Structure 1
Amino acid sequence: MNGLASALLSLAHSLFGPGFCPGDWVWATSAAGALVALLPPIGALAISIIRKGTGNRYDATTLSVFGAIGLVTALILPWLLSNGVSGVFRAERAGTKSGLTASEASTLTSGSCWVDTQKEYLGGGPNVYEVLFYKNNAALPTFVYVAAFILLPAGSLLFVILQGRTAFRRGPKWPSRFIWIPFAAMLAFSVGMEANTALHFWLGFLPFSVLGLIPVAMVGPPPWSVINRSDAPPRREPEPYRPPPPSASQMQPRPTPPPPPPPVNKPYPKTALASAPEPPPMAGALAAAPGPIPPPPGSRNAGGSRYRRVKQLGAGGFGTVWQAVDTQLNRTVALKIAHAPDRDTAERMQREARALAVVSHPNCVKVYDLAEEPDGLALVMEYLEGRPLAELVDGQGPLDDVAAGRLWATMAGALAAAHEKGVLHRDIKPSNIVLDPSGLAHLIDFGIARSQGDSKMTATGMMIGTPDFVAPEQAMGSAASPASDAWQLAATISYALSGQPPRGTRETPMAALMAAARAEPVSRLPQRSAHARLLAASLDPEPRRRPTLNSVRREVEGWLSRAGKSADGPVTRVVPRQPGGQAPRR
């Protein structure tokens, strides 16, 4: 150990050993501390480079490698070198072999200022433990040692923690313990160093532990394509079915069973959704083509309507939305009634009903029923009293970073829940997010939602979505994907922060669509926002380079936690509208 430490001291003395107060070897001790401070950043740098290829895949192999790197660079080598430096000076004072050359050892007899002899000052005093817990005759006042041995190691530990967390950007931060916990153990094991040696050693260590953050930060985090690949669950190929061998009883001939009785025609059940079977576990079958819609109670063929309409909430090209009261259950609902009850309309409404029925998330609007009203097919949904995000931003201005972060994390969770069921929204925009009076956000209008793998309902080549908030690949006619929903959500968050779409506004929808199809760069991002970098990554024109919604939610919730804010708080406080004022929108 003394041989390695003496080589380190000789190198430090040749690099920085000025002959002024308090002495060349005292300054060389601080230079040795600076060289040892480079070891934890080297470990963090190695981990950052490894994560460029592994991302967040923390299996037994990668964790073992990270643990070994942390032990070597943050515990074993720093402890051996720091205690070895102290041992070299002890050996020189005792007159035994230290590893220094004769010419180097001869200069240890000099000193200046408060140091009479560097050999005695660095190798003959009490150690750190004795200075902290016992009264000893040390070269400096006790309070100087106490302050130095608390502030200097604590500051060094802080920056080693930051080095570890920087190495594990875009992922869980708990593996950074592989770096800073060994270093904390090294601090505890170094109490045997001579107090004066330790004082000057840590004076050199601390500034270079700060500088060690720079190379780790320059390496950068793993690309989102690697993060997404490592976050994806491993695919398991299904095992081929192997029928069991027939038993002796099965090999015997059996009498032919009688033919089944002819099917009996059963009447339709009361409502379409009540009669719909439970969705199968396979995501690809969630949005199967619906069959004919039966006449529910309250339809033209059943006599009278179950839903008493209160007021109209809105109207569009597809249909009209009403606030109504369910007379059987005595609750307020929203009725979405189609203008033209043709087959395509029925399929679209059945699709929206099934999409919402299988998605169970508190921030997705709930669907109750699919009924046939006298003037058309009606989707019966949860009534949300509140205001759309678009209306709120237009009227009150953009959201701040905390509110936008809560909105992003909440909507990312809702969309991720829909994607787990195989449902894509495909039309996320500010007007499809409603904020209720408590300030909580709800995702609405799954009218063009489809299961992954389904064919388009629109004509061949027709774009699905809103031009200002459509992903580039959708505008070019490619199939929608979870990455497309993630792009649209990021565009909506950018609008909430800046008050305008990320590509800016165009004079006509066709111009906006052409800008999207050309994948024009986003030019209206909120640059001063804390979410600017994550927004830029999420709005990447290449889908595979975008972070997944789960990655986005983890990043944003981590930022909110570091800011001391909860992720489940209100996005904003929406004042309920007064009676007689403008009607609330669903």
Structure 2
Amino acid sequence: MESIASALLSFAYQLFQPGFWPGDWAWATSMAGALIGLFPVGTAVAVALMRKFTGNRYHGGALAALAVLGVIGMLLIPWFLAAGVSSVFRANFRGDSAGLSGAEVAALKQDYGAGPQVEYLGGGRNIYETLFYPSGNAFSYGLYLVGLVGLPVLILLAVMLLGRLALRRGPKWPGRILWGSFVVFLLVCAGVEANVAVHLWLGFLPATVLGVIPVALVGPPSWSTIERSDRRPERAPAREEEPQQQPVHVHPREPEAAPPPPPPPPPAKQYAPTSVAPAQEPPTELAATPGPMPVPAPPGSAQQGSSRFRRVRRLGHGGFGTVWEAVDTQLGRTVALKIAHAPDPETEERMQREARALAALSHPNCVRVYDLVKEPDGLALVMEYLEGQPLAEIVDNGGPLDDVAAGRLWATVASALSAAHSKGVLHRDIKPSNIIVDPQGVAHLIDFGIARSRGDSKLTATGMMVGTPDYVAPETAAGAPASPASDAWQLAATVSYALTGQPPRGTRETPMAALMAAARAEAPTHLPRQSVHARLLAASLDPQPRNRPTLNVVYREVEGWLSRAGTSPDGPVTKLVPRQQ
């Protein structure tokens, strides 16, 4: 131990040896403390690098590696070196060079105003004796309190900060392994010479504070890595072993027992009035291979010009069609009827794609598709009619939402979008006007009019931009293909609008100016600064898609906050009064 510590001291003496009070060897000890402080910094860097691959997986080998790094880098090596440095100075005080050269021993005996350095560093009392058995005046004892208690507390705070940085985007409890080991190191250093310890801490503190820089440069693990680590491994279904047939002895005098009655069927799952029960059959085949298009009636027939849907009022008018509130005269239910503007092949293919996209989904917060029919004035998509108001109208009339309501909105729509992405469907036009809040306060995602399934060709009208400029993701505005990350960006922009009443990049004079701002990836300027969701919103609105949290991660983060706040994501976003017909 003394040989390694003497080599460390000699190296520190060559690096830093100012010749002023209390002596060159005293300041060389501070340099040795800075070198020792590099080990906790290196431990934090190693943990940050490890999490690049393991994410938040804290079990098995990953947890063992974290514990080994914490104990070795935060406790054993620093204590080994600090105790060794103190032992070298004590040995020189007793007349043993302890591995130092003759010139270094001679320099150690020089006096810079605090007595010979060999006595100043090796002939005093240790930390425990100095703190609990004080001798001398109160002023010197106060200085020792600052050097032996105050400095270690500051160093401990810096080490805790290193642990927090290394464990970003994950639970904080593993940090106890790191700073807990360092606390043990400070306690076991009670036998180190008091003056040596003060100079070690003087070098240790700036080393750990500056160590924040490399740990921050390593950065947190990607959101995709975190999502993979949070995903529970799927268990393979247990093989059911066929029971071996045993010979059965039947006694003719004993009547056979009647077979037990079959168990009653499970009760049907009850859904809330605004929820949509999932289809009994998986909709994947329907989405991939839609049924044959209905053939329009021949001219002059009795069916020509007739319709089973009686239109009540127009709900909206968009670039591809008009949406009507209508009544299905055959089934007697209110539906939303979306009719294409022009019955050209491209528009019909677009309507078929929207029908496939919606038919593939089964989520209570996604609008439900019923049918794809031929109307007298064009191809029509028959959808669930949602009574309520668009989010844009709610915020414009009632003001921004609070953190709880915005959290419920974010979690609800993130769950719906995640379900769409699992079916290979991208929405590509998420904005406040495409989220309907029903009278019970439940949010629903509508208008998959520009939704596209994986493998579909890009179908856009000439000169038409896909998406809304104020809520389009930067990469999409720049011409890159849409992705789940771009849907996540648009949802975060919509949530930011719900909290502030403005798009995250603010409003522009013209749509082209808004599109140019999106293509340049201008930083958001109208984020909710005081919201608890500000940090997650800033991450979700990152210009680089790979840096954004996935929708599953967003759902877990928001759901966790809502749970800690004593509520759940199932509550209403806001209460509405139904419109008067």
TM-score, normalised relative to structure 1: 0.65
Show the counterpart of 1:197.
Answer: 196
Q: Which residue number corresponds to residue 2 of structure 1?
A: 2
Per-residue CA distance 1:512-540 (angstroms, 9 max, x = gap): 99x59x98233262287668886676457
- Which residue of 2 is the match for residue 24 of structure 1? 24
Cα displacement (A) at 1:15: 1.8
Q: Which amino acid counterpart does residue 192 of structure 2 have in structure 1?
A: M
Aligned 1:169-184 pairs, distance under 5 A: 169-184=168-183
Q: In the alignment, what sits opposite 1:159?
A: 158
* Identity %, equivalent residues: 40
Does residue 492 of structure 1 match 2:491? no
Over 3 Å counting, the alpha-carbon distance change for 1:498 and 1:207 in structure 2 is farther
1:417 shift after superposition: 6.1
Tell me which residue corresponds to 1:320. Answer: 325
Is the 8 Å Cα contact of residues 500 and 524 (structure 1) preserved in structure 2? no
Deviation readout 1:152-200 (Å, 9 max, x if unpaired): 1121111112112222333444443443222222112111112222122
Q: Distance in 2 between matches of 1:430 and 1:40?
A: 48
Distance 1:451 1:528, change over 3 A: closer
Residue equivalent to 2:297: none
Between the aligned partners of 1:184 and 1:489, the Cα distance in structure 2 is 44
Identify the residue that residue 448 of structure 2 maps to in structure 1. Answer: 448
Flag the 1:340–1:31 CA change in 2: closer, same or farther, 3 A.
closer
CA contact (8 A) 1:452 1:481 kept: no
Q: CA deviation at 1:548?
A: 0.9
Residues 70-93 of structure 1 show CA distances to partners (whole Å, capped at 9, x for unaligned) of 332211111111111111122222
Match of 1:303 in 2: none
CA contact (8 A) 1:17 1:25 kept: yes
> Does structure 1 conserve the Cα–Cα contact (< 8 Å) formed by 2:5 and 2:88?
yes
Paired with 1:246 and 1:474, the residues of 2 have a C-alpha distance of 61
Distance 1:392 1:210, change over 3 A: farther
Shift of 1:234: 5.9
C-alpha distance in 1 between matches for 2:416 and 2:46 = 36
Task: Map 1:487-526 onto structure 2 (within 5 A).
Answer: 487-493=489-495, 495=497, 499-500=502-503, 502=505, 507=510, 520-523=519-522, 525-526=524-525
Q: Secondary structure at the match of 1:318?
A: strand
Q: Deviations over 1:320-349 (max 9, x none)?
A: 399xxxxxxxxxxx9654376999999979
Per-residue deviation, residues 445-501 of structure 1 (Å, max 9, x unmatched) = 335399996887x99557997433455888899997643431321332454558236
Partner residue, 1:257: none
Q: 1:17–1:28: 8 Å Cα contact kept in structure 2?
A: yes
Alpha-carbon distance in 2 for matches of 1:236, 1:453: 29
| Cα distance in 2 for residues equivalent to 1:146 and 1:558 | 42
Contact residue 391 and residue 436 of structure 2 kept, 8 A:
yes
CA change 1:171–1:285 in 2 (3 A) is farther
Q: In the alignment, is residue 131 of structure 1 matched against residue 130 of structure 2?
A: yes
Q: Which moved more, 1:337-346 or 1:196-205?
A: 337-346
Q: Deviation string for 1:287-321 (max 9, x for gaps)?
A: 698999xxxxxxxxxxxxxxxxxx98955521239
Aligned-partner SS, 2:384: strand
Question: Partner residue of 1:146?
Answer: 145
Residue of structure 2 in register with 1:390 after alignment: 392
Cα pair 1:283 1:421 within 8 Å, conserved: no
**1:208 matches 2:213:** no
Distance 2:111 2:171 in 1: 50
CA distance, structure 1, for counterparts of residue 4 and residue 580 of structure 2: 75
Q: Which residue of 2 aligns with 1:266?
A: none
**Corresponding residue number in structure 2 for 1:47:** 47
Q: How far has the Cα of 1:95 moved from its partner?
A: 2.6
Secondary structure of 2:115 counterpart: coil
Q: Contact (CA 8 Å) 2:415, 2:555: kept in 1 or not?
A: no
Partner of 2:378: none
Partner of 1:379: 384
Q: 1:96 to 1:279 in 2, by over 3 A?
A: farther
1:418 aligns with 2:423: no
User: Which residue number corresponds to residue 430 of structure 1?
Assistant: 432
Structure 1 vs Structure 2 CA RMSD = 5.7
Structure 2 CA distance for partners of 1:246 and 1:568, relative to 1, 3 Å: closer
Instruction: Give the aligned partner of residue 70 of structure 2.
Output: 70
Query: In the superposition, relative to structure 1, how do residues 532 and 500 fare at CA in structure 2: closer, same or farther (>3 Å)?
Result: same
Aligned-pair distance for 1:211? 0.8
Is contact 2:286–2:359 with CA below 8 Å preserved after alignment?
Answer: no
| CA distance in structure 1 between the partners assigned to 2:115 and 2:436 by the alignment | 77
CA pair 546-214 structure 1, distance change in 2 beyond 3 A? closer
Partner of 2:11: 11
Look up the equivalent residue of 1:318 and give its one-letter code: V
The alignment status of 1:107 with 2:107, answered yes or no, reads yes
Q: Does 1:549 align with 2:551?
A: yes
The whole-number CA distance in structure 2 between the counterparts of 1:63 and 1:354 is 41
Whole-angstrom distance in 2 between the partners of 1:453 and 1:339: 20
Change (3 A) 1:337 1:222: closer
Cα-to-partner distance string for 1:405-427 (whole Å, 9 max, x where unaligned)? 84785356534663587485724
Query: What is the distance in 1 between the residues matched to 2:509 and 2:537?
Result: 21
CA distance in 2, matches of 1:460, 1:504: 28
- TM-score, with length taken from structure 2: 0.66
CA–CA separation in structure 2 for the residues paired with 1:94 and 1:60: 49
Amino acid at match of 2:102: A
1:462-477 to 2 correspondences below 5 Å: 466-468=467-469, 469-470=471-472
Residue pair 1:284, 1:453 contacting (<8 A) in 2 also: no
Taking the TM superposition and a 5 Å limit, the aligned residue runs for 1:142-291 are 142-224=141-223, 226-227=225-226, 279=279, 284=284
The aligned amino acid for 1:550 is N
Residues 47-80 of structure 1: CA distance to partner in whole angstroms, max 9, x if unpaired? 3334445544556344433333333221111111
For residues 44 and 406 of structure 1, the distance between their equivalents in structure 2, rounded to whole angstroms, comes to 33
**Do the aligned residues in 2 keep the contact of 1:131 with 1:195 (CA within 8 Å)?**
yes
Aligned counterparts of 1:233 and 1:573: Cα–Cα separation in 2: 30
**Structure 1 counterpart of 2:72, which letter?**
V
Structure 2 CA distance for partners of 1:507 and 1:88, relative to 1, 3 Å: same
Provide the rounded CA distance (Å) in 2 between the counterparts of 1:130 and 1:547. Answer: 53
Give the SS at the match of 1:119.
helix
Are residues 216 and 279 of structure 1, via their aligned partners in 2, closer, same or farther at CA, if it must alter by over 3 Å?
Answer: same
Moved more, 149-158 or 98-107: 98-107
Paired residue type of 1:82: A
- Within 2, Cα distance between the matches of 1:104 and 1:20? 16
Q: 1:139 to 1:461 in 2, by over 3 A?
A: same
Q: Specify whether residues 542 and 9 from structure 1 end up closer, same or farther in structure 2 by C-alpha distance, changes over 3 A only.
A: closer
Query: How many Å separate the matches in 1 of 2:87 and 2:287?
Result: 74
For residues 86 and 159 of structure 1, what CA distance do their matches in structure 2 show?
24
Q: Gaps spanning 5+ residues in structure 1: where? A: 250-272, 293-310, 323-333, 371-375, 578-582
Aligned residues: 504
**1:9-37 Cα shifts (integer Å, max 9, x gaps):** 12222222222112222222222111111
CA spacing shift, 1:512–1:135, aligned 2, 3 Å: closer
Write the distance in 1 (CA, Å) between the matches of 2:94 and 2:524. Answer: 67
User: Which amino acid in the other structure matches residue 467 of structure 1?
Assistant: T
